[in-house]
Amino acid sequence: MKILIPTDGSIYSSNAARVAARIALKHDYELIVLHVVPDKGFSRKTWQKEGADSVISSITDILAEAGCDSDKIETLIEDGSAPEKIVEIAKDRGVDRIVIGTQGKNGLKKLVGSVTEKVLQMSDALVLVVPPNYRV
């Protein structure tokens, strides 16, 4: 099973990584940890790269603590629109499942749409959304 774990560095992404690890360890697995740096026409700054490396590292640490083999974890840092890149990577890599966290916001934020909601609308792959209060 190939699982994509998009991360933005939040606690919600950490929860999703823990869930993904539990699923992965029950299967023959490959994990892809993805962080998307917003690209608004500017080239990536050094601090954005360092921040992205830190975000990725925190998730790979969680996966390792859960017992996942580092040889089965691929990490990617991409520039662009997060929902579009998540769906693109999932399609290009033949991902079986996207495991993504959500903040569970409502009101205006929900009307505008979150990354998770956009991924749900755009993805052909199965998307598992981990709610904010879920604990592994």
Question: Could you report the per-residue pLDDT of 24-73, keeping only the tens digit for each?
Answer: 999 999 999 999 988 765 555 555 667 899 999 999 999 999 999 999 99
83 within some domain:
yes
Q: Which two tokens stand for residue 80?
A: 């662009």
Confidence of residue 112 (pLDDT cuts 50, 70, 90): very low
Cα dihedral 101, 102, 103, 105 in deg (nearest 10): 180
Confidence of residue 111 (pLDDT cuts 50, 70, 90): very low
121 within some domain:
yes
135 within some domain:
no
pLDDT for residue 44: 55
136 within some domain:
no
42 within some domain:
yes
User: Which CATH number characterizes residue 54's domain?
Assistant: 3.40.50.620
Q: Which two tokens stand for residue 66?
A: 């859960």
Q: Is 15's pLDDT higher than 70?
A: yes
Q: Which two tokens stand for residue 109?
A: 């934020």
Number of domains in the chain: 1
66 within some domain:
yes
Q: Which domain holds residue 54?
A: 2-130
Is this model's pTM higher than 0.95 or not?
A: no
